[in-house]
A and B are shown apart, each in its own frame.
Chain A
Amino acid sequence: MKANQVIIGAGISGCSIAYHLAKKGMKNIVVVDKSYLTSGATGRCGAGIRQQWGTEANCILAKKSIEFFETAKEELEYEGDIEFKQEGYLILATDKPELDRFSKNVKLQNSLGIPAKLLSVEESLKIVPYLNTSAFVGATFCQTDGHLNPFKMTEAFYLAAKRLGVQFFFFEEVKEIIVENNKITKVITDKHEIDTSVVVNAAGGFAKEIGDMVGIDIPVFSENHEILVTEPIEKIQGPMLMSFTQNFYCQQVPHGSFLMGRSTPNQVHSHDISSSWSFLDEMAKTICHIAPKIGELRVIRQWGGSYNVSPDKQPIIAEAENLKGFYIACGFSGHGFMFSPMTGEIISNMILNRKNEISPDLFKLNRFSEKELNAVEQSVV
């Protein structure tokens, strides 16, 4: 069979890219996934969307993505509820140096039109009253940040893409990508041989392995990040609570459950996504320190998922410099879900040779080999 583009990965990035390409008139697009829709990092993510970043690139990606989410239900003609809520992110600073860094971040964010602001401890308590006041010295808050249901959002992209003629092959694994004379000619899966000259690598945790198939070394690694969810309770928290130094994020989702995660220090680089008792222990200690009230809730379950991490914690959204037709959307470092509309927009414009509003240099693959690395994103959990 033949396809104009083969997209590897049916997570949020792959589905968004497929939708944006099809919307711009491309025909004969195939999406291949080795498992089911949202089976990878998308379906395991913390489901937050925020614009409060420390680098310009991440700020712009986030802002434009949120603009898309605001009208996504209508644009994608989705019948379900994507559970979009904009009740903000409250990011706690735990010491003076962090507060100073936040103050710089807020200036950057405001200069880009993101309505973030610095808050005192007292002002923060008006938003989340049960915070432990001795646990932080100040905070930043952005009202238009929020939450989305990753399963519903991905399905919205998926259904819209399907209506536009995109074909999805699930439970089908890409085994080989044939390159002849430095051109892609074929994608071989365990079920099909697909003639194509364009491949989009949106394989999330396995993006590096897909790069290896065409001899391109993508400088990313995968690492297990764990999350837990509590029993549901009537709504008490609007915004996502977060702290980089305390290493946690915690959100009450519309269903009423609290979803919270932290990163494991010195985590080994691997595809492991198992759950550990030590995460449960550390997560419980952290949340009991920050917001003891939430510690009274019972934990229902926990799980893990892969962050695909790049050297500067910012995504690679690019066409490979050494292999035309090989596009890469990976290395989101835990934030691929919230950037997905822009991922689709940028990659589709690249494929169609259209100009992107945002400079592609910020996300190119070979930026890491250059002497001056982009600013490294510090605002990550």
Chain B
Amino acid sequence: MRIEKHPILEFSNHQEIAFFYNGKEVLGREGDTIASALHALGIKELSKSIHYKRSRGFYCAIGNCGSCNMTVNDVPNVRTCMTKIEQGMRVFSQPGKGELI
């Protein structure tokens, strides 16, 4: 879901950017964070709670809570609400605490 019409703000046509989500190529828009792009694609589950493996989604959106931590280009625990998408970026959901090596 995206806001296409707004009484005050204008959304000019942003360029589309292709990146990979769990190995599948998907499209976001220029200026999207990873989390906002996934949210717009209807992907609500970004991570799972470490202990009980419950779904965790878009939450604080300012890089504090860790709810959106994902592995991006092999780097674990990237705060996807704060990281903008780039062409060809490889984004994976993390089963647990993330793997450094």
> Nearest chain A CB to B92's CB is how many angstroms away?
14
User: Which A residues lie within 8 Å of B101 (CB)?
Assistant: 129-130, 236, 293
**Which residues between 208 and 241 of chain A lie within 8 Å of chain B, taking CB atoms?**
231-234, 236
Residue A188 at the chain B interface, CB threshold 8 Å: no
Residues 32-43 of chain B, each 1 if its beta carbon lies under 8 Å from chain A, else 0: 000000000000
> Nearest chain A CB to B66's CB is how many angstroms away?
8
Cβ B98 vs Cβ A234 within 8 A? yes
> Nearest chain B CB to A32's CB is how many angstroms away?
37
The 6 closest A-B pairs by CB, nearest first: A232-B97, A256-B97, A234-B99, A233-B100, A234-B97, A233-B97
Q: Can you give 22 contacting A-B residue pairs, CB < 8 Å?
A: A129-B101, A130-B101, A231-B77, A232-B97, A233-B76, A233-B97, A233-B98, A233-B100, A234-B96, A234-B97, A234-B98, A234-B99, A234-B100, A236-B99, A236-B100, A236-B101, A256-B97, A293-B101, A294-B100, A296-B75, A296-B100, A298-B77
Cβ B97 vs Cβ A293 within 8 A? no
Residues 74-101 of chain B, each 1 if its beta carbon lies under 8 Å from chain A, else 0: 0111000000000000000000111111
Cβ B99 vs Cβ A233 within 8 A? yes
Using CB atoms and an 8 Å cutoff, list the residues of chain A in contact with chain B. Answer: 129-130, 231-234, 236, 256, 293-294, 296-298
Q: In the complex, which residue of chain A has the Cβ closest to the Cβ of B95?
A: A234
> Nearest chain B CB to A373's CB is how many angstroms away?
45
User: Which B residues lie within 8 Å of A297 (CB)?
Assistant: 100
User: Which A residues lie within 8 Å of B96 (CB)?
Assistant: 234
**Which residues between 48 and 91 of chain B lie within 8 Å of chain A, taking CB atoms?**
50, 66, 75-77
Q: In the complex, which residue of chain B has the Cβ closest to the Cβ of A235?
A: B97
User: Which B residues lie within 8 Å of A296 (CB)?
Assistant: 75, 100
> Nearest chain A CB to B63's CB is how many angstroms away?
11
> Nearest chain A CB to B82's CB is how many angstroms away?
12
Using CB atoms and an 8 Å cutoff, list the residues of chain B in contact with chain A. Answer: 50, 66, 75-77, 96-101
> Nearest chain A CB to B79's CB is how many angstroms away?
10
User: Which B residues lie within 8 Å of A231 (CB)?
Assistant: 66, 77
User: Which A residues lie within 8 Å of B98 (CB)?
Assistant: 233-234
Q: In the complex, which residue of chain A has the Cβ closest to the Cβ of B94?
A: A234
User: Which B residues lie within 8 Å of A232 (CB)?
Assistant: 50, 97
* Whole-angstrom CA separation of A60 from B97 in the bound complex: 38
> Nearest chain B CB to A253's CB is how many angstroms away?
12
User: Which A residues lie within 8 Å of B100 (CB)?
Assistant: 233-234, 236, 293-294, 296-297
* Whole-angstrom CA separation of A117 from B7 in the bound complex: 73
> Nearest chain B CB to A129's CB is how many angstroms away?
8
* Whole-angstrom CA separation of A67 from B96 in the bound complex: 34
* Whole-angstrom CA separation of A232 from B69 in the bound complex: 12
> Nearest chain A CB to B39's CB is how many angstroms away?
24
> Nearest chain B CB to A229's CB is how many angstroms away?
14
- A234, A293, A296 interface centre (most CB from chain B within 10 Å): A234
Q: In the complex, which residue of chain B has the Cβ closest to the Cβ of A294?
A: B100
> Nearest chain A CB to B54's CB is how many angstroms away?
17
User: Which B residues lie within 8 Å of A294 (CB)?
Assistant: 100
* Whole-angstrom CA separation of A301 from B15 in the bound complex: 40
Q: In the complex, which residue of chain B has the Cβ closest to the Cβ of A257?
A: B97
Q: In the complex, which residue of chain A has the Cβ closest to the Cβ of B100?
A: A233
* Whole-angstrom CA separation of A231 from B98 in the bound complex: 10
User: Which A residues lie within 8 Å of B66 (CB)?
Assistant: 231
* Whole-angstrom CA separation of A297 from B76 in the bound complex: 9
* Whole-angstrom CA separation of A293 from B101 in the bound complex: 8
User: Which A residues lie within 8 Å of B77 (CB)?
Assistant: 231, 233, 298
* Whole-angstrom CA separation of A297 from B78 in the bound complex: 11
> Nearest chain B CB to A30's CB is how many angstroms away?
39
* Whole-angstrom CA separation of A182 from B65 in the bound complex: 60
* Whole-angstrom CA separation of A294 from B76 in the bound complex: 12
> Nearest chain B CB to A257's CB is how many angstroms away?
9
* Whole-angstrom CA separation of A118 from B62 in the bound complex: 49
User: Which B residues lie within 8 Å of A293 (CB)?
Assistant: 100-101
User: Which A residues lie within 8 Å of B76 (CB)?
Assistant: 233
- A130, A232, A233, A256 interface centre (most CB from chain B within 10 Å): A233
User: Which B residues lie within 8 Å of A298 (CB)?
Assistant: 77
